[in-house]
């Protein structure tokens, strides 16, 4: 049975789940959610996910939300992208939790405010504060990648696919790859993985579609 992932291209959190599915080798298909026209706030979507968020994954009778939970399930089902020991699994989880709180949680909000809100509604004080938080997270990631190809175990894992979730998007949000050589090399390494796709090529929906 084909796994369905409710998602849209602009969502970095949905991208984490989608790229994990794509690289796992499992059969899956994206289901477009029209976030910018309010679909996640409709009664029908809230019945699917009471949190009113993407991604949502349906695999037979199983329904999961939250990108990290979906990634963990996909890795467990496929036997790919996970840890090879209990220590590695905990280290992968450590980076996934860090990403949720320190990287994606800040970068996603900053990117949304800077690009998807009408210019007159962009809260400049909040943007400046979030930018500082994103720069601190990038510095942490840059240090962690010193002398390393990947975050855990010397190979691509869920840790990398979580932490890179927002970093391939072209919209400005205070991230310039040229300023972070370790991150830049790591993102290139991930994108050279067979089967990798850019978020706007992997999921339906992009700013160009709404232009």
Residue 72 has pLDDT above 90, yes or no: yes
As a whole number of angstroms, the distance between CA 118 and CA 157 comes to 37
Model confidence at 210: pLDDT above 90: no
Domain of 160, CATH number, reads 1.20.1050.10
Instruction: Tell whether 46 and 119 lie within a shared domain.
Output: no
The string of DSSP codes covering 22-46 is HHHT--EEEEE--GGGTGGGSHHHH
- Domain match, 148 and 58 both: no
pLDDT category, 211, cuts 50, 70, 90?
A: confident
Looking at the structure, tell me whether residues 153 and 201 fall in a common domain: no
**Whether residues 98 and 184 fall in one domain:** yes
- Are 90 and 184 in a shared domain? yes
Looking up residue 37, the CATH number of its domain turns out to be 3.40.30.10
Compute the average pLDDT of residues 72-85. Answer: 98
- Over the stretch 4-58, which tens digit does the pLDDT of each residue have? 999 999 999 999 999 999 999 999 999 999 999 999 999 999 999 999 999 999 9
Predicted local confidence at residue 85, as pLDDT: 97
- The pLDDT of residue 131: 98
97 and 173 assigned to the same domain: yes
Shared domain for 66 and 91, answered yes or no, is no
Same domain, 72 and 36: yes
Residue ranges of alpha helices (H) inside 59-123 are 67-78, 86-98, 104-115
Tally of domains in the chain: 2
pLDDT tens, residue by residue, 127-185: 999 999 999 999 999 999 999 999 999 999 999 999 999 999 999 999 999 999 999 99
Domain hosting 104: range is: 86-191
Residue 1 has a pLDDT of 85
Regarding whether 138 and 203 lie in a shared domain, the answer is no
- The reply to whether 91 and 144 lie within a common domain is yes
Q: How far apart are CA 163 and CA 160, in angstroms?
A: 5
Sign (positive/negative) of CA torsion 107, 195, 88, 3?
positive
The answer to whether residue 191 scores a pLDDT higher than 90 is: yes
Question: HSE-up of 21 (CA within 13 Å, CB side)?
Answer: 27
Interval 87-113 mean pLDDT: 98
Co-location of 99 and 183 in the same domain: yes
Task: Give the mean model confidence (pLDDT) for residues 92-112.
Answer: 97
Pair (73, 123) in one structural domain: no
């Amino acid at each position: 049975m084909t796994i369905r992932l409710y998602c849209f291209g602009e969502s970095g959190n949905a991208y984490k789940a989608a790229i994990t599915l794509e690289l796992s080798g499992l059969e899956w298909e994206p289901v477009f959610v029209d976030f910018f026209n309010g679909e996640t706030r409709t009664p029908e979507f809230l019945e699917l996910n009471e949190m009113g968020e993407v991604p949502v994954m349906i695999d037979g009778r199983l329904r999961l939300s939250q990108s990290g939970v979906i990634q963990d399930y996909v890795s467990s089902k496929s036997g790919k992208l996970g840890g090879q020991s209990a220590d590695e699994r905990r280290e992968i989880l450590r980076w996934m939790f860090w990403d949720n709180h320190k990287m994606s949680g800040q970068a996603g909000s900053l990117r949304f405010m800077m690009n998807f809100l009408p210019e007159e509604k962009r809260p400049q004080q909040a943007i400046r504060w979030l930018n500082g938080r994103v720069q601190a997270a990038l510095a942490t990631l840059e240090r962690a990648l010193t002398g390393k190809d990947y975050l855990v175990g010397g190979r691509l894992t869920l840790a990398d696919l979580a932490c890179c979730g927002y970093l391939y998007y072209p919209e400005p949000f205070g991230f310039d790859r040229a300023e972070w050589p370790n991150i830049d090399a790591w993102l290139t390494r991930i994108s050279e993985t067979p089967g990798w796709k850019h978020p706007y090529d992997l999921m339906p929906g992009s700013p160009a579609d709404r232009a």
